[in-house]
Amino acid sequence: MSFPLNVQIIQHEEFVAPGEYLRWAERRGCPVSITQCWALDAFPETGALPDLLVVLGGSQNPGMTEADDPHFFAAAEKALIRRCAEAGRMVVGACLGAQLLGEAMGAPYAHSPERELGPTPLTLTAAGRADPFLAAFPPEFIGGESHNDMPGLTEDCAVLAGSAGCPRQIVRYGKYLYGFQTHMEFDREIAAAILSKIPEYAAEPEKHPFVQSAEAMTGYDYSEMNALLSSFLDRMTDSYLRESRERSDTVAVLLEKMLAFSEGNLHDVDHLIRVWAYARTIGELEGLDPETQYILETAAITHDIACPLCREKYGNTNGRHQEEEGGPLVCAFLKSSNLREAEVDRIAFLVSHHHTFTDVDGLDWQILLEADMLANAGENGWPRERVEQFVERFCKTESGARLIRAVLCQGEAP
């Protein structure tokens, strides 16, 4: 089975390769982009987010700055992790990546009680044994280690596994946010590369009871821990995709229902499809979290629900009348859906304010305004000058501005 997931991997060091993370993604046919910090690749600050962000390990620690290492951009990485977390995307941190994930969630990293290096016995906690994504993990298993530090803990996180030398081997920070201090992605090539680049790390093993020999590292068969990591990734992505499909199915059902509600008025049908398509595109490019994206798309589908009533009651579809009449209509329209009350309330609010450009309090509202005006401008043949005035005065999203200019200004910059 191929998973239609976009995967981004943050690689801090050339010799700390993605290993099983990359192999898993390739087996699933996932598009993969690798940000190579050691090659000074830029971090994406805006635009579409990956479905799965994997942040690998490295010789740095989260307290270091670019002054300490010109190839390490901790602030930018934590900002990207936060964007992914807020948008409901999956984030897996490995070693340094786990520490950065914890810091992005507000928990400073800490020093591990012991230095660990090499294949090490790990034990699941009660929370780990109950975690659905770790269902294939036995109570005790082997993980690969190469660290001095460990991730910090938030008030609502859960420690899922630990070892004798480090109590925080796997930490769950959210439904799709997992920090693996342990390196389940290791293979013999990665182990050898680490030893060749940091030979002093394994020096004086008698002083460090949890440091294995170079022979133990390079001779170990890592296939079993790789299989456990793949099982975790399979279960997590299955859950993520199932939720995404349920949302998509619901949007499709609502769209079909709204098309029927339009009673063959081709102008209304064409307009709502345009607004929905534009809103969906801008929302995805801006990296909205799944719930906000869902609310936005549903509001876009139903935003002109009051037009038939307004034509009959007022003889026109004036925006103010639409806002006054739309809220109760959309609540009734969505009554039989499986939306939560808070979701219906927000959708009704957006429909009741889709011609109001003041005090905009969320990206869903802003994007709905931009998508609706883009559709209106195209339908009414706005001149380029008026389009540019709208973009400058009212357009707040970079994706919306790009889309409006691409559609109405032949893609040229002003």
Q: Judge if 142 and 284 occupy the same domain.
A: no
Q: Judge if 304 and 391 occupy the same domain.
A: yes
Task: Please check whether residue 31 lies inside any domain of the structure.
Answer: yes
CATH number at residue 93: 3.40.50.880
User: What pLDDT score was predicted for residue 212?
Assistant: 86
CB contact at 8 A, 363 and 397: yes
User: What pLDDT score was predicted for residue 242?
Assistant: 85
Encode pLDDT of 42-57 as tens digits.
776 666 789 999 999 9
Q: Which two tokens stand for residue 327?
A: 């809220």
- The domain tally of the chain equals 2
What is the Rg, in whole angstroms, of the alpha carbon atoms belonging to the chain? 25
Encoded amino acid at 366, one letter: Q
Encode pLDDT of 70-88 as tens digits.
989 999 999 999 999 988 8
Q: Judge if 56 and 100 occupy the same domain.
A: yes
CATH number at residue 336: 1.10.3210.10
Burial class of residue 364 (count of CB atoms within 10 Å of its CB; 0-12, 13-18, 19+): buried
Gap between the terminal Cα atoms of the chain: 45
Supply the DSSP symbol for 49. P
List the beta bridge partners of residue 150: 110
User: What pLDDT score was predicted for residue 353?
Assistant: 96
Q: Judge if 231 and 314 occupy the same domain.
A: no
List the beta bridge partners of residue 11: 36
User: What pLDDT score was predicted for residue 44?
Assistant: 67
For residues 352-370, average pLDDT: 94
In this model, does residue 201 exceed pLDDT 70?
no
User: pLDDT-based confidence at 200, cuts 50/70/90?
Assistant: low
Q: Judge if 163 and 275 occupy the same domain.
A: no
Q: Judge if 228 and 292 occupy the same domain.
A: no
Task: Please check whether residue 115 lies inside any domain of the structure.
Answer: yes
Say how far apart CA 334 and CA 321 lie, in whole Å: 20
Task: Please check whether residue 253 lies inside any domain of the structure.
Answer: no
Final residue of a domain: which of 239, 272, 299? 239
Q: Judge if 274 and 229 occupy the same domain.
A: no
Greater model confidence, 371 or 4: 371
381-387 LR contacts (CB < 8 Å, sep 24+): 382/408, 384/408, 384/409
User: pLDDT-based confidence at 1, cuts 50/70/90?
Assistant: very low
Kindly report the backbone phi and psi dihedral angles of residue 44, in degrees, each rounded to the nearest multiple of 5, phi listed first: -70, 120
Q: Judge if 116 and 228 occupy the same domain.
A: yes
- Alpha carbon dihedral 160, 169, 12, 74, in 10-degree steps, equals 70
Encode pLDDT of 97-123 as tens digits.
999 999 999 999 999 999 999 999 999
Task: Please check whether residue 252 lies inside any domain of the structure.
Answer: no
CB atoms within 10 A of CB 198: 15
Residues 6+ apart with CB under 8 A from 79: 43, 45, 104
User: What pLDDT score was predicted for residue 204?
Assistant: 60
SS3 assignment for 343-396: HHHHHHHHHCCCCCCCCCCCHHHHHHHHHHHHHHHHHHCCCHHHHHHHHHHHCC
Encode pLDDT of 169-197 as tens digits.
999 999 999 999 999 999 999 999 998 88
CB contact at 8 A, 295 and 254: no
Residues 6+ apart with CB under 8 A from 373: 390, 394, 404
What is the bridge-based pairing of β-strands 32-36 and 7-11? Answer: parallel
- Averaged pLDDT score across all residues of the chain: 91
Q: Judge if 52 and 131 occupy the same domain.
A: yes
Q: Which residue has the tokens 């036995």?
A: 138
Domain hosting 179: range is 7-239
User: pLDDT-based confidence at 208, cuts 50/70/90?
Assistant: confident
Distances (CA, A) of 344 to 240, 284, 288, 382, 412: 23, 21, 18, 33, 39
Q: Judge if 276 and 397 occupy the same domain.
A: yes
Encode pLDDT of 389-406 as tens digits.
999 999 999 999 999 999
What is the bridge-based pairing of β-strands 170-174 and 177-180? Answer: antiparallel
